[in-house]
Amino acid sequence: MGTRFNEFGLPIGTALERWQPPPPPTRCVLEGRWCRVEPLDADRHGPQLHAANSLDREGRMWTYLQGGPYASLDEYLAWLRPRQAGDDPMFFAFVDAATGSATGVGSYLRIEPASGSVEVGHLQFSPLLRRTAAATEVMYLMMRNAFELGYRRYEWKCDALNAASRRAAERLGFTFEGVFRQATVYKGRNRDTAWYSVLDSEWPTLERGFRRWLQPGNFDASGRQRRSLAAAREDARWTP
């Protein structure tokens, strides 16, 4: 499409004549093959989450999160309970489909229907969830839900020093947009924030790649992938 100009000869953005603001996300259950995304229930999910998180005995997983580590279940529940009813952020538990136990947490936040933008964040992936097919699937399910609701932009933000989070965003198909310097303060230290996004125009190809990667045949008997998500996504660019 060519550049549009207004009556003053100034360039202006693409017209969105048919677009309508989407509804806010709801506390729905998102079903996958390896996991479920469930509305957070602190009393039901909290003990399972704390036990799973406690497998990280060094507390490494909390380095770039605003809270934690939590020494006791009561301390963790005190953090979870105020968050289970919030609309923004809206928290979910990530539940292993085979065991029925919660192994991670995440949320939608900065939900802006008027501009069609929503962020995924507050991600707590326990050692039981990290580097599994379910870890990818929970991100796919939340992203798919947002775009099916009609959002135009899906964001991921993290501490610019968090190399693992940045690699995860890029692996999932997010585009790096830049670093906001001295964006915030947490745990008594500065945070430069790296910004990533996926747009609705990019989603169809990304979704085909996710679906291909998540097929059972892509995993061996021990759960190791046969083909990478990047390879599945590249195939999806050229074949429907």
| Collapsed DSSP state (helix, strand, coil) of residue 27 | coil
pLDDT in tens, 184-217: 999 999 999 999 999 999 999 999 999 999 999 9
Whether residue 236 is predicted with pLDDT greater than 90 in this model: the reply is no
Please answer whether residues 120 and 139 qualify as being in contact, where contact means their C-beta atoms are separated by less than 8 angstroms: yes
Place of tokens 């802006």: 112
* pLDDT above 70 as % of the chain: 99
Quote the strand ranges of 11-164, DSSP E: 11-12, 30-31, 35-39, 90-96, 102-112, 117-125, 153-159
Report percent pLDDT > 90 for the chain: 92
**What pLDDT does residue 238 have?**
75
3-state secondary structure of 41: coil
Q: What does the alpha-carbon distance between residue 56 and residue 240 come to, in Å, rounded to a whole number?
A: 41
pLDDT tens string 9-26? 999 999 998 999 999 999
Residue 3's pLDDT is: 87
Q: List pLDDT tens digits, range 38-95.
A: 999 999 999 999 999 999 999 999 999 999 999 999 999 999 999 999 999 999 999 9
Angstrom distances, CA of residue 40 to CA of 88, 138, 160: 13, 14, 28
What's residue 237's pLDDT? 83
The residue type of 157 is K
The predicted pLDDT at position 240 comes to 67
Tell me the pTM: 0.94
Token pair 């660019």: residue: 237
Name residues whose C-beta falls within 8 Å of residue 101's C-beta, 6 or more positions apart in sequence: 48, 52, 95, 128
Query: What CA–CA distances, in Å, run from 133 to 8, 21, 65, 185, 218?
Result: 53, 32, 23, 33, 10
Under CATH, what is the fold of the domain 22-201? Aminopeptidase (3.40.630)
pLDDT of 1 higher than 70: no
* Confidence (pLDDT) at 218: 93
Query: How, if at all, do strands 153-159 and 117-125 pair?
Result: parallel
